[in-house]
Structure 1
């Protein structure tokens, strides 16, 4: 099979196409003929060495989410050949990353592709959608409570805004002015311009502070003052602030959701119900993975990038 990977850490130029033996599923596993693999910041972290090499051997294959068609099943699998599925992958592990023509996956790491979506769209949902659901689970908010999503126009942020509205939460998001219409269309109740004084402006709008902050923009201590006493702060990079005012600090860690089929299926349902709108994706052939990484690192993207095989 063809796979995109690297043998040493470095810039986008270390990515190349490798010919590897075709994998075959074990008991309770399937093989997915990958149609599209999303490109994410975690892939850059893999390529540059921030995530280490885990249990894998070179070439190291990045990629944390994919969509495709099951073309082989292992003994006892409950899935069938020909079913269109999406999954999160865990690079630097036994099954490897998603930048590959074929990807092995346990039965309980899959969900059907949402009806009416392309493989390119579906590939952008599993990892980031599961991150958003985990954040909401860590917060344990009730309908009507108030949530701040920093970086609301980003990949995780935009999914989180929609899923929070689906749960009846009041959502406040920050963004650049050019992204205000997008966030309003996704259901944000209040959209504020990004800036170092965001916490003060949130307080100006909401008075006694908010119940929770999902810090997808990594503002850290700058946005903690927006919380009411006893609120909850969830970070994406395991940052924890000083214990004060009874604030509870949590950290999202999406690899824990690798085998979360109910949550993955809930994301499918949210898309099919029209409550979760997926970003349009720009598809590049796998051979252009280095270009895809350069585009991602340049920033400012509002469409997703996927690699196709």
Structure 2
């Protein structure tokens, strides 16, 4: 089967289409004929060799989001059948590998049905970022009426955090650059502040003592931590352990642990069907243009996800 990956770690130009042996479903798994897979910032870490690859072999295949149709079912799998349309989270460099593949073997629990009315391409943007957003909100432990600030609200992860937080009755302060104000406003935050310098002061101008929690989807860290109240919560999505300030609880959000969180995937499916969550596709490209998608992602300013198809 065809996969997109790298033989040698490097920049976007290292990505190429490779032929590898076709996998098959075994006990506790299904095989998905992948029709679309999303390009996420985390994929660059696999491509560049920033992740532990000791248990994998080349070509190293990125990708954590896939959507397609089940075409094989393991012998002990009873709730799924050939022909089911599903969206799945994948784990690169692990037993079943990343999502940039024609066929993905997926353990039961790592996928769910595509939301009604959603295209395959749109569905490919939901699992990993949605699970990350739910993990942030779960770790924050916020209740209705509590306050949450979101950096990078115009990006897809920020979109999902804002929308899922509002569903829970949380008061949301979201950042936006001038060009993104209409997009961020459409997500329904209670307040918007200018992205960049002055974010923390602007948040404090709205919530004097600081917000209860901050989801730092823009990875601004020390620049924005003053927006959080003493003893509040700070979610980092790139492994930062925090600066120990004012009793703030700093947590590193690691979505890999949600690999088989079926109940959360079902929550995301329902959120899309109920109009709570809005998947966003920047552009659909053929898989052969993966290097271009990575280059354009690195250039910044993308709203939604590039989605690659076979």
Classify the TM-score, shorter chain: over 0.9
**CA–CA distance in 2 between the matches of 1:220 and 1:302?**
22
Which whole-Å deviations, capped at 9, do the CAs of 1:42-82 have from their partners, x for residues lacking one?
11111111113141111111111100000001111131100
1:178 is matched with which residue? 179
**CA–CA distance in 1 between the matches of 2:129 and 2:171?**
21
Task: Quickly say closer, same or farther: Cα 1:139–1:303, change in 2 above 3 A.
Answer: closer
1:199 is matched with which residue? 200
Runs of 4+ in 1 over 2 A off after TM superposition: 240-246
Q: C-alpha displacement at 1:281, in angstroms?
A: 4.1
2:224 is matched with which residue? 223
The unaligned stretches of length 5 or more in structure 2 are none
**CA–CA distance in 2 between the matches of 1:281 and 1:270?**
21
**CA–CA distance in 2 between the matches of 1:190 and 1:178?**
16
Does residue 59 of structure 2 align to residue 59 of structure 1?
A: yes
**CA–CA distance in 2 between the matches of 1:63 and 1:265?**
21
**CA–CA distance in 1 between the matches of 2:110 and 2:205?**
43
Q: C-alpha displacement at 1:206, in angstroms?
A: 1.8
Which whole-Å deviations, capped at 9, do the CAs of 1:11-53 have from their partners, x for residues lacking one?
1111111111111011110000001010011111111111131
Which whole-Å deviations, capped at 9, do the CAs of 1:275-303 have from their partners, x for residues lacking one?
11111341111111111111111111113
Q: C-alpha displacement at 1:195, in angstroms?
A: 1.9
Residues 110 and 264, structure 1, Cα contact 8 Å, conserved in 2? yes
2:27 is matched with which residue? 27
Does residue 166 of structure 2 align to residue 190 of structure 1?
A: no
**CA–CA distance in 1 between the matches of 2:36 and 2:103?**
11
TM-score normalised according to structure 1 size: 0.98
Q: C-alpha displacement at 1:96, in angstroms?
A: 0.8
Residues 282 and 302, structure 2, Cα contact 8 Å, conserved in 1? no
1:103 is matched with which residue? 104
TM-score normalised according to structure 2 size: 0.97
Residues 199 and 223, structure 1, Cα contact 8 Å, conserved in 2? yes
- Superposition map of 1:57-136 within 5 A: 57-77=57-77, 78-136=79-137
2:4 is matched with which residue? 4
Does residue 17 of structure 2 align to residue 44 of structure 1?
A: no
1:260 is matched with which residue? 261
Q: May I ask how many residue pairs the two structures share in their alignment?
A: 309
Which whole-Å deviations, capped at 9, do the CAs of 1:159-218 have from their partners, x for residues lacking one?
100000011000001121111111111111111111222111111122121100111111
Residues 120 and 281, structure 1, Cα contact 8 Å, conserved in 2? no
**CA–CA distance in 2 between the matches of 1:289 and 1:240?**
32
The unaligned stretches of length 5 or more in structure 1 are none
Deviates more, 1:68-77 or 1:281-290: 281-290
Residues 279 and 304, structure 1, Cα contact 8 Å, conserved in 2? yes
Q: C-alpha displacement at 1:239, in angstroms?
A: 1.2
**CA–CA distance in 1 between the matches of 2:156 and 2:276?**
16
Task: Quickly say closer, same or farther: Cα 1:163–1:229, change in 2 above 3 A.
Answer: same
Residues 34 and 103, structure 2, Cα contact 8 Å, conserved in 1? yes
Task: Quickly say closer, same or farther: Cα 1:79–1:281, change in 2 above 3 A.
Answer: farther
**CA–CA distance in 2 between the matches of 1:22 and 1:235?**
37
**CA–CA distance in 1 between the matches of 2:175 and 2:54?**
35
**CA–CA distance in 2 between the matches of 1:228 and 1:290?**
42
**CA–CA distance in 1 between the matches of 2:231 and 2:5?**
45
